Amino acid sequence: MKKLLLVILSIALVQVADAQVDRSTYPEPGPAPEIKLGEVATFTLQNGLKVFVVENRKLPRIAFSLVLDRDPLLQGEKAGMLDLFGDMMMGGTASRSKDELDEEVDFIGASLSATSTSLFASALTKNRDKIVELMTDVLYNPIFPENELDKLKKQAISGLAASKDDPNSISARLTAALNYGKDHPYGETYSEATINNITTLDVKQYYETYFKPNISYLAIVGDISPEDAESLVREHFSNWEQGEVPRHLYGMPTLPDKNTVALVDRSSAVQTVVNITYPLEMKLSHPDFFVTRLMNYVLGGGASSRLFMNLREDKGYTYGAYSSIGSDKLVTSFSARASVKQTATDSAIHEMIYEIKHLAENGITDSELQAAKANLGGSFGRSLESPSTIASFAINTERYGLPADFYANYLKQLNAVTVDQVNSAARKYLKPENLYITAVGNAREIEDRLNVFGELTRYTNMGDVQKEIDLGDQALDASGILQAYLEAIGGVGPAENIKTLKMELSTEIQGNKISMIMVQDVPNEIMVQKVLMAGNEVSKTIMKDGKATISAMGQSQTLPDEQFEYLKMSMWAVPELFYETMGYTLSVDGVTEIDGEAAYKLIITNPTGGELVNYYSVATGLKLRSEDSLSGETTYKNYEAYEGVLLPVSLSVQSPMIPVPLEFEVQELEVNGPVSEQDLN
């Protein structure tokens, strides 16, 4: 009975509560919580170094962040030097080699790193003096060794090669070039040539010019009192000599007059990377900073945004669609981006432009604003868990001329924004008629459908306008291209005389040697390919009897017919001999540039519909590159003669499964030698 009364009473109370609460409207938001950022002690040395100290005794650790506040630099013929600078600075000092420096840092369990505008160090409190000693040794006495520069150049060029094949990297280069121009620090890109132009003298001159205390800020965070920090800084940084630092001014990029389309062709792509963008001015101190944060969140700031809900949840065009508005003292950009299904490229772009225009013209709702405030406020609150955040706030306040209470009142400023303010900002900052619409994808499949959005221009994977190459009456048809290639490698007769081939290629990934051994028996239509790592077989592919079998990790699988046909298109040393006799359809898709060289684009389609795209040099006839959606891209860099036939001996392979290109070199190659039964199994 007692339990029954309690139940009845509970139901009655709920009913009364429901009667008193109007659930048809959102409750009024409460006042923004007061943010206590903690004390930041600050002082300035006579040489101009500004120091900020955040005492935090929770852990016995301490961190030092040194930041240079210089203008952006246009590097020109030395583009890429700033990317290498940090590693060069860590390449050793007058008293310590690179290895010795690394060993001393590791021995105390610390970290020490550098960039072209910063130096960072952290360690346990008990190792404070040692890490400051190492940090200042790097700061005052770097030697910038030549051998380190040579190594870094090779790494940079390898990374550049990978980025040329990565659709997202291509898109980033293209949008930067369009928004800012290649004569602007934010729009220029480095190349193999500019990397090779860099000398140790360039690195030293940059260091001597810009590493000055009078443009620097030092933040110290952790287990140290302001008094001890000041004593430490005065002891180690007072003798750092100040100097005059050059200033640099740049013109402000302008919006496109109308919507324009920029396309980069990636024949092997199965998706299209879309980025809709334009330059704009926005910085931390701008009166519309908080308003634009909230506006952007509604448009494309997260999984509940309009772009995401439209393109992914409603249409299923992509895994995610997002937008952003940057902040920068100089200039920044608006961006709306997504990787979409190739067949939905034009539909996705239409929906993205629709959402931008709809928000600009019709604004947002109060519920959207409240959700945006909750999300951005939560992100800000979580950032306060890191003591280094407080130090960066102090530096930002000084660098960007912010009000002293800018971060203390962050949530108040965020919560004070109204729907009308956001809608006014949307009309001001969203430019649905002045867009750069960029696409990186298979031009043959998407180009015609992109023309409806504006005047279309093709670009290279380095963000340059693609040259129009018109050979007129001199252009070759598909048969002529194949004939020119066969003549270039030595002729049809010598190529047909290749009956067997044994080849070993090798490359390295993170110090691990990878070998690929290939054996071909042309008359019997047998091909075997083995991949070995550190001498151990990791996979084997056998093609014979009209099928292909792949073995790996003790498992064996027969490939479906479609994949077998794909492999068969490239299985021989000179597959061009067989294209026309195997029933493949050949078509020429004009002339394009491959690493600056004019090349015919030949599309080979097998009976199952699979496509292989080959590029042949207009000048030499040699094959420069092959692409397909299954195995990726192979670039042929060097040819050498074997039995009167030129065969490629340097290959750059970019696979969809591997994030970096593999640079293979032929170690052994034998034509028409004996092939044993063991070789073919």
pLDDT tens digits, one per residue of 605-635: 998 888 899 999 999 999 999 988 777 889 9
Q: Is the pLDDT of residue 270 over 90?
A: no
Q: Which pLDDT belongs to residue 17?
A: 45
Q: Kindly report the number of other CB atoms within 10 A of residue 119's CB atom.
A: 23
Question: Are both 615 and 592 inside the same structural domain?
Answer: yes
Tell me if 18 is assigned to some domain.
no
Q: Which pLDDT belongs to residue 20?
A: 52
The residue-averaged pLDDT of 247-268 equals 94
Query: Which CATH number does the domain housing residue 643 bear?
Result: 2.50.20.10
Q: Is the pLDDT of residue 15 over 60?
A: no
Q: Are 243 and 76 in contact (CB under 8 A)?
A: no
Question: Are both 281 and 209 inside the same structural domain?
Answer: no
Which residue among 397, 427, 459 closes a domain? 459
Q: Is the pLDDT of residue 418 over 90?
A: yes
Q: Rounded to a whole number, what is the largest CA-CA distance in the chain?
A: 104
Q: Kindly report the number of other CB atoms within 10 A of residue 99's CB atom.
A: 9
Tell me if 600 is assigned to some domain.
yes
Report the DSSP pairing between strands 436-441 and 271-280. Answer: antiparallel
Closest to 275 in 3D by CA, of 368, 177, 183, 361: 177
Question: Are both 450 and 489 inside the same structural domain?
Answer: no
Which single residue is written with the structure tokens 């920090």? 229
Q: Are 113 and 86 in contact (CB under 8 A)?
A: yes
Closest to 110 in 3D by CA, of 93, 94, 129: 129
With pLDDT > 90 as the criterion, what percentage of the chain qualifies? 71
More confident residue, 367 or 678: 367
Q: Is the pLDDT of residue 39 over 80?
A: no
Give how far Cα 64 sits from Cα of 53, 54, 230, 236, 240, Å. Answer: 9, 11, 13, 13, 16
CA pair distance 171, 160, nearest whole angstrom: 14
Which residue among 437, 459, 481 closes a domain? 459
The residue-averaged pLDDT of 98-123 equals 96
CA pair distance 652, 121, nearest whole angstrom: 38
Question: Are both 294 and 186 inside the same structural domain?
Answer: no
Tell me if 243 is assigned to some domain.
no
Tell me if 190 is assigned to some domain.
yes
CA pair distance 63, 65, nearest whole angstrom: 7
Question: Are both 516 and 425 inside the same structural domain?
Answer: no
Mean of all residue pLDDT scores within the chain: 90
Q: Are 359 and 301 in contact (CB under 8 A)?
A: no
Three-state helix/strand/coil letters over 633-665? EEEEEEEEEECCEEEEEEEEEECCCCCCCEEEE
Question: Are both 107 and 156 inside the same structural domain?
Answer: yes
Query: Which CATH number does the domain housing residue 188 bear?
Result: 3.30.830.10
pLDDT tier, 474 (very low <50, low <70, confident <90, very high otherwise)? confident
Structural domains counted in the chain: 3
The string over 4-18, giving b where at least 16 C-beta atoms fall within 10 Å of a residue's C-beta and e elsewhere, is eeeeeeeeeeeeeee
DSSP codes joined into one string, 306-335: HHHIIIIIIT--EEEEEEEE---SS-EEEE
**pTM (2 decimals)?**
0.85
The residue-averaged pLDDT of 6-19 equals 41
Q: Which pLDDT belongs to residue 566?
A: 78
Tell me if 465 is assigned to some domain.
no
Q: For residue range 317-361, list pLDDT tens digits in order.
A: 999 999 999 999 999 999 999 999 999 999 999 999 999 999 999
Q: Which pLDDT belongs to residue 27?
A: 54
Compute CA 259 distance to the chain's CA centroid, rounded to the nearest angstrom: 25
Report the DSSP pairing between strands 500-509 and 271-280. Answer: unpaired
Question: Are both 534 and 625 inside the same structural domain?
Answer: yes
Contact partners, residue 274, CB within 8 Å, separation at least 6: 337, 338, 339, 340, 345, 348, 349, 352, 437, 438, 439
pLDDT tier, 404 (very low <50, low <70, confident <90, very high otherwise)? confident
Q: Which pLDDT belongs to residue 292?
A: 98
Question: Are both 479 and 454 inside the same structural domain?
Answer: no
Question: Are both 494 and 625 inside the same structural domain?
Answer: yes
Tell me if 9 is assigned to some domain.
no
Q: Is the pLDDT of residue 2 over 60?
A: no
pLDDT tier, 44 (very low <50, low <70, confident <90, very high otherwise)? very high
**DSSP class of residue 467?**
P
* Structural domain boundaries, residue 620: 472-671
Q: Are 62 and 224 in contact (CB under 8 A)?
A: yes
With pLDDT > 70 as the criterion, what percentage of the chain qualifies? 94
pLDDT tier, 1 (very low <50, low <70, confident <90, very high otherwise)? very low
Question: Are both 482 and 521 inside the same structural domain?
Answer: yes
CA pair distance 593, 595, nearest whole angstrom: 6
Q: Is the pLDDT of residue 6 over 60?
A: no
In what helix (H) or strand (E) does residue 432 lie, and over which residues does it extend? Answer: none
Tell me if 33 is assigned to some domain.
no
CA pair distance 419, 364, nearest whole angstrom: 7
pLDDT tier, 215 (very low <50, low <70, confident <90, very high otherwise)? very high
Which residue among 407, 435, 459 closes a domain? 459
How close are the terminal C-alpha atoms of the chain, in Å?
A: 84
Q: Which pLDDT belongs to residue 161?
A: 84
Q: Is the pLDDT of residue 8 over 50?
A: no
Q: Which pLDDT belongs to residue 22?
A: 55
Question: Are both 404 and 272 inside the same structural domain?
Answer: yes
Contact partners, residue 260, CB within 8 Å, separation at least 6: 435, 436, 437, 454, 455, 456, 457
Tell me if 522 is assigned to some domain.
yes
Q: Is the pLDDT of residue 89 over 60?
A: yes
Question: Are both 347 and 482 inside the same structural domain?
Answer: no
More confident residue, 514 or 45: 45
Q: Which pLDDT belongs to residue 545?
A: 87
The residue-averaged pLDDT of 203-213 equals 98
Q: Which pLDDT belongs to residue 536?
A: 86
